[in-house]
């Protein structure tokens, strides 16, 4: 199906989609919308963050809403208030000319506003489990006549401890509803909800194909714990258009990292659960307007943040599990734009990261941090570009007279150098940057490339090749890098001083022409 019209949507919704610039459905939309419009079965949808899940359930709900009714017809549960507001806004923007009343209901907002909205009448309620359960217990919300019950980001709600609240809310929902469960992963708790509260359901799984998500570059840097902040600054400085999320484990870490970055002059801000709703909304507004370009966040606070053009996601600290890693890094490399998912680890965390990468199904490359020279070069290029733009626009006219005065007794290059020093301080001075110990080249020596006549046709993957080489040579897995898997041939690098050992160990186990051959390139 190549367009929304073929999915069975009304002219009203087609017009609304066109006004938003949407022309083709995403895979999850193409598979889910027809099922919701024509069938009666419940649906379990599995798709990554940013694949258009809200429209996948929101469009059919809008189509099936009966106008001018005095009862709630659909409930959407979300793990965070940010996501509740986001889903509410998305459904509202998709309704077109149809009179569909949508109300966000979440903790942190005064009850008065919510009670007024519920009393006036609402068709779709979008809310967080705690506040929804609160209204059910107060008798201010009734779900006995709902047609749709949606669990959005179900795995996140389960991991946040909402499983009992979800069960209690489902028990209050009318029996004639259709239950829709959307999740990036199929955790045990998620499947238990499906088995317990859903009837006969259809599974719609849309997983990233090998060539579907090449826009997110997955890299990691190995640094000492004491160098993490310096390493983060290097990553940001080397990317002049950096616009991204930096993840920390705790609220305290989030505040400290953001504060230290602000002290260094970076446009950063923290976001976590201890901030008031007004503070969070203001920070997110500034971030979406790019007045703040670095958002330092905890996992919980970031779950409702959906900004399509992020350039980077940086794991300042490792997440707790592979599922969280997937949710974090899924926020970049979207909407057809390239993105970078960078992870900072200490040497002792290498095994945990590799386990996490394997569980998440992603390939990560170990890279060298940008050098001081790279950072200075990038900053110089940006300064030159911005100055050229000001000159082209005639923005310096009001300073012409002062410029002539300054150059009366001085050389132009002296004046410009002083002005740059006055404006940028020591940003271009190499001595102002602290050296970071480089773990990207074990032993600080050169590397040798080795080829083996084994590839995809032999069932090889980067992870399998590392395990294979490590087992046969007794080299530590992190020493085996720069892996390239071909159809029948693969290459990798090891420290030069380990190359002889690797070649000897591998060739010693060759048993004949049918076995692999190894050589140094």
Overall pTM > 0.75: no
* R_g over Cα of the chain: 27
The whole-number pLDDT of residue 392 equals 79
Q: pLDDT, tens digit, for every residue of 238-277?
A: 887 899 999 998 999 999 999 999 998 899 999 988 888 7
Domains of the chain: 5-206 (3.40.50.300), 216-370 (3.40.50.300), 373-432 (no CATH), 442-520 (3.30.70.2280)
Concatenated DSSP letters for 179-222? Answer: EEEEESS--HHHHHHHHHH--SEEEEEEPPPTTT-TTEEEEEEE
Question: Are 201 and 42 spatial neighbours (Cβ–Cβ below 8 Å)?
Answer: yes
3-state secondary structure of 450: strand
Question: Are 222 and 350 spatial neighbours (Cβ–Cβ below 8 Å)?
Answer: yes
3-state secondary structure of 430: helix
What is the DSSP secondary structure assignment for residue 514, as one 8-state letter? Answer: T
Burial degree of 105 (CB within 10 A; 0-12, 13-18, 19+): buried
CA angle 229/82/74 to nearest 5° reads 155
The whole-number pLDDT of residue 445 equals 52
C-alpha 365 chain-centroid distance: 18
Tokens representing 5 are: 């019209």
CA angle 75/81/83 to nearest 5° reads 75
Residues in the chain, pLDDT under 70: 1-2, 48-50, 207-214, 303-304, 334-336, 395, 438-445, 509-521
3-state secondary structure of 344: strand
Q: pLDDT, tens digit, for every residue of 124-133?
A: 999 999 999 9
């Amino acid at each position: 199906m190549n367009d929304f019209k073929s999915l069975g949507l009304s002219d009203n919704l087609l017009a609304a989609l066109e006004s938003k610039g949407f022309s083709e459905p995403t895979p999850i939309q193409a598979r889910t919308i027809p099922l919701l419009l024509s069938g009666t079965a419940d649906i379990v949808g599995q798709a990554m963050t940013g694949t258009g899940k809200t429209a996948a359930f929101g469009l059919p709900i809008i189509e099936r809403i009966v106008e001018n009714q005095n009862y709630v017809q659909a409930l959407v549960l979300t793990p965070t208030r940010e996501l509740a507001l986001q889903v509410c806004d998305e459904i509202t923007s998709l309704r077109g000319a149809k009179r569909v009343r949508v109300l966000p209901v979440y903790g942190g907002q005064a009850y008065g506003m919510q009670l007024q909205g519920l009393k006036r009448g609402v068709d779709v309620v979008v809310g967080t489990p705690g506040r929804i359960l609160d209204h059910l217990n107060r008798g201010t919300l009734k779900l006995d006549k709902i047609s749709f019950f949606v669990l959005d980001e179900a795995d996140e709600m389960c991991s946040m401890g909402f499983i009992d609240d979800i069960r209690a809310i489902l028990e209050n929902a009318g029996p004639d509803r259709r239950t829709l469960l959307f999740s990036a992963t199929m955790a045990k708790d998620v499947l238990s909800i499906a088995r317990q509260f859903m009837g006969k359901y259809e599974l719609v799984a849309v997983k990233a194909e090998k060539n579907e998500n090449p826009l997110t570059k997955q890299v990691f840097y190995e640094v000492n714990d004491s160098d993490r902040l310096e390493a983060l600054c290097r990553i940001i400085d080397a990317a002049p258009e950096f616009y991204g999320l930096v993840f920390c484990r705790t609220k305290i870490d989030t505040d400290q990292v953001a504060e230290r970055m602000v002290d260094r002059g970076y446009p950063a801000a923290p976001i976590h659960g201890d901030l008031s709703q007004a503070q969070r909304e203001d920070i997110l507004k500034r971030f979406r307007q790019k007045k703040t370009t670095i958002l330092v966040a905890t996992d919980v606070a970031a779950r409702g943040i959906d900004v399509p053009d992020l350039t980077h996601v940086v794991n300042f600290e490792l997440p707790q599990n592979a599922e969280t890693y997937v949710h974090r890094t899924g926020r970049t490399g979207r909407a057809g734009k390239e993105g970078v998912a960078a992870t900072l680890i200490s040497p002792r965390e290498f095994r945990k990261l590799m386990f996490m990468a394997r569980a998440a199904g992603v390939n990560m490359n170990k890279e060298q941090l940008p050098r001081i020279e790279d950072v200075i070069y990038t900053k110089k290029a940006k300064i030159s570009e911005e100055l050229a733009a000001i000159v082209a626009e005639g923005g310096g006219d009001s300073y012409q007279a002062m410029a002539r005065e300054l150059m009366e007794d001085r050389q132009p290059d002296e004046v410009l150098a002083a002005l740059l020093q006055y404006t940028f301080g020591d940003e271009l001075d190499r001595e102002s940057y602290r050296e970071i110990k480089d773990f990207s080249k074990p032993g600080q020596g050169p590397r040798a490339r080795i080829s083996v006549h084994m590839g995809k046709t032999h069932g090889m993957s980067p992870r399998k090749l590392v395990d294979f080489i490590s087992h046969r040579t007794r080299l530590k897995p992190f020493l085996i890098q720069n892996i390239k898997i071909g159809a029948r041939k693969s290459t990798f690098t090891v420290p030069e001083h380990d190359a002889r050992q690797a070649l000897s160990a591998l060739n010693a186990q060759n048993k004949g022409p049918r076995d692999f051959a190894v050589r140094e390139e």
